[in-house]
Amino acid sequence: MGSCIICGTSVDGHICDLHEEDVLFEFRGDHPNQLTTSRYYRGSVDGFAEFGVFVDIGDRVTGLLHRSELDQRLDSLDWDPGDTVFVKVKNVRDNGNIDLGWSIRQAEREFRGVLVDDPEFDHEKLAEEVDDAGDESGNGRDETTSHDGGRDDAETSDDAATDDESGSASDTSEPASDSSDATSDQSKMSQASDADRTERTAGVVGQGSAAPEATTESAEETTSDTSTGGAVVQERERALVTVDALSDHEGDDVRLEGEIVDVRQTSGPTVFELRDETGTVDCAAFVEAGVRAYPEVVEEDIVRLDGDVRRRRGEIQVETEALVVLEDEERQTVEDRMADALDERARPAGVDALADDPAIDALADDLVDAATEIRRAVITDRPVIVRHSATADGYVAGVALERATLPLVGEEHRQADAAYHYFDRRPLEGGVYDMEDATKDVTNMLENRERHDEKLPLFVFVAAGGTRESLDGFELLDVYGAPRVVVDDAVADEAVVDAVDTVVSPSLSDTTTTTATALAANVAAHVNEHVREDLGHLPAVSFWDDTPEPYLDAAANAGYSPEAVGELRDAVALEAYYQSYEDKRELITDLLFGDDEDDVTGLASNVAEQFREKLATEVDTATANLETELVDGTTVGVLDTDAFTHRFDFPPSTILLDELFRQADDETDALLGVADDTLYVRAGATVDVHDLADDVAERAPEAGVRTRSAREQSIRFLSGERDAVIDATLAAVGEQF
């Protein structure tokens, strides 16, 4: 029995089933059937085809990474034949063909360990356990190569000495009479090696035990005293430095204070990721290959770390010599210093509004607060999840925040897959965050915390979440303490304001209305002022009619005419409908931020033309079947959306009814769209859909009427009471208008 190199669970080998996908495997077999599916393997690019990339995983073992598995276009890959890549084995077919999957981790250090997968073994092994000298396949490893934040040449020499010790004991080519001398030499070598290692690491290396703690403000260097068997402690002053200054101290012994934000056990050292008020750095601590150093140190501990600053593979790293967890006043002092610096760093400097908009001016402080929460999350390694409605306004608003946040994630995190771990954009149906959505999010975030030690994410709701229909979902997030920000142009309910950390809504100030995109784009400009020029045209895209002149001017300054802006809106609206649950990151980015205006308008024109054709067809059909009711002097149009629309094709009822009402004559006061169990209302005057639902419920008490979505202006009812609900709604609308 062994133990999992990640969680320590007892297993046959070195990895448990839960963490098998978190490590990288080196394949040393020569047949596809020897591969294990669902594992990630190191490979090399063999060649390219129109349908994908051929990747060599081992001797005479080649698989296909199909282009559909890639997260980008095939022609945009910067791979060359022979380049090292990392892939997942998804399937090995009966004919020996291997289906590979894309790994968002494209660097060895981004895995939490490396193991050797060799069919000659009973189970996977650490690379250090494999006798490469006898590997006839030629897949041996260079024992002097630093690995996964590992040791320098001096450290490798120590390990080589240890290897020699074990090798001497089993060397049958030496005469038996020399065995006692060999044993004596081994003992001397071991003592010398341990003494040297102890001198350099201040007691980090031990017999599988934790390293000793530093107990004074100055670091203590411990060296062996072989004459007495004791230890001599020599104090050496170390400068307390910040992470951002480490590059100026390369080769120096330094002291750091900060929070442990990640612990990775590699096949060599344990890597502690330490963050202070200025940044993060990897700190490698070595006991012996694959053994957890400082097991008492866990994530979120505040520590003092002494070590030697080195550069590994072009990146600054600290070779840990002493590490101690701070408690009480010492911990509080460091926490306060980090919190003050974080507040100063996260709060954005003043940024001018993208255009003259009274609503934005009135909400300036709220916009800054929302931007601060997003920036703070990125700085503190907290994932940001943007939840937005599956509408044109929702998609453009969400993409504005995506455009601003992703570069910050790249600056804060060195991993190639950081953009996928620390930022996600997930559309919502109806602009409501219900229990189904919340349950899915909570399940994902708890799994990520368990599997990848991720912090609970910051949820940012855009063009969604402002009304009481989302409260159940918010309450579930609140159980786990996941922070929440709402940026919504809908009227924000008081209960929502109390349930989330920050709300940005025009209804909270005495000002005019605007779109969610206008709000979100201005938040984004505060999150990252360097993308301001990219955002100028986005607010104009979110208006269906009566676009404010300042936003049209801003779009024109960015190179977009009113016609081009309209095509972008129509194109995004069409793409938002299809696979509405997907973020469609690259497609939406191509629509809104092409390499040049010709690329943008060319793609948008093509998609927008489809939008107009599909919408015109449905409008013609709906108009021919629209019934008109006169109730107490109020003219109300009624459309049976189940009977006279293509229910599962574009456009959805919301877009169709909006267009019908825009085209209606001046005598039409309201428009109702009635489906099997859902009713939509459109009116020239503002309709409080919650009051309407209460009124209809009183008139049709058996119908189970409730608000479905205040954003979509819809209510839900029991399908068996459909006629009663229509009559009750007509009566209620007649009284209101």
Give the CATH number of domain 625-736: 3.10.310
The answer to whether the CB of 301 falls within 8 A of the CB of 335 is no
The CATH class of the 2-141 domain is mainly beta
235 bridge partner residues: 220
Residue 726 has pLDDT above 90, yes or no: yes
Question: Got the DSSP string for 593-653?
Answer: S-SSHHHHHHHHHHHHHHHHHHHHHHHHHHHHT-EEEEETTEEEEEEETTTSS-TTSSSPH
pLDDT in tens, 218-263: 444 444 333 333 333 344 568 899 999 999 999 899 999 999 988 8
Mean pLDDT over 618-638 rounds to: 91
The letter for the amino acid at 717 is F
CB atoms within 10 A of CB 13: 18
CA–CA separation, 659 and 674 (whole Å): 16
At 600, the pLDDT band (50, 70, 90 cuts) reads low
HSE, CB side, 13 Å, CA atoms: give it for residue 456. 13
Q: Where are the domains of the chain?
A: 2-141, 148-343, 347-609, 625-736
More confident residue, 680 or 143: 680
pLDDT at residue number 417: 65
**Residue 160's pLDDT is what?**
36
Peptide bond into 651 cis (omega under 30): yes
Q: Is residue 444 over pLDDT 90?
A: yes
What is the CB neighbour count within 10 angstroms for residue 92? 19
Find the range with the poorest average confidence among 6-10, 486-490, 519-523, 661-665: 6-10
pLDDT band at 76 (very low <50, low <70, confident <90, very high): confident
Token representation of residue 224: 């062996």
Q: Could you report the per-residue pLDDT of 541-578, keeping only the tens digit for each?
A: 999 989 999 999 999 999 999 999 999 999 999 999 99
Name the range with the highest mean pLDDT among 206-215, 424-433, 588-597: 424-433
Between 416 and 176, whose confidence is greater?
416
- pLDDT the model gives residue 440: 95
CA distance 268 to 289: 4
Q: Check residue 511 and give its pLDDT.
A: 77
Q: Is the dihedral of CA 336, 339, 344, 347 positive or negative?
A: negative
Instruction: Tell which wins on pLDDT, 180 or 62.
Output: 62
Paired tokens of 730: 């007509």
User: DSSP state, 250?
Assistant: T
Q: Flag whether pLDDT at 158 surpasses 80.
A: no
Comparison of pLDDT for 178 and 35, the residue scoring more: 35
Fold for the domain defined by 347-609? inorganic pyrophosphatase (n-terminal core) (3.90.1640)
Q: Say what percent of the chain tops pLDDT 90.
A: 55
Range 599-618 average pLDDT: 87
Maximum separation of any 2 CA atoms in the chain, in Å: 116
Helix (H, G, I), strand (E, B) or coil at 427: strand
- Give the pLDDT of residue 15: 87
User: Which of 188-197, 508-517, 521-530, 624-633 is the most confident on average?
Assistant: 521-530
pLDDT in the model for residue 208: 33
User: Which stretches does DSSP call E strand in 97-252?
Assistant: 98-102, 114-117, 125-126, 219-225, 230-236, 239-240
**Phi, psi (rounded to 5 degrees) for 64:** -110, 125
Using the predicted structure, report yes or no on whether residue 467 has a pLDDT greater than 80. yes
Query: May I ask the CATH architecture of the domain 148-343?
Result: Beta Barrel (2.40)
Rounded to an integer, the average pLDDT of 110-121 is 86
pLDDT above 70: residue 134: no
Closest by CA to 87, choosing from 39, 35, 149, 19, is 39
- Whether 2-141 and 625-736 share one fold: the answer is no
Q: Which candidate, 733, 680, 688, 686, places its Cα nearest to that of 708? A: 680
The confidence score (pLDDT) of residue 49 equals: 81
- pLDDT of 350 higher than 50: yes
Nearest to 1 by CA among 166, 122, 128, 160: 122
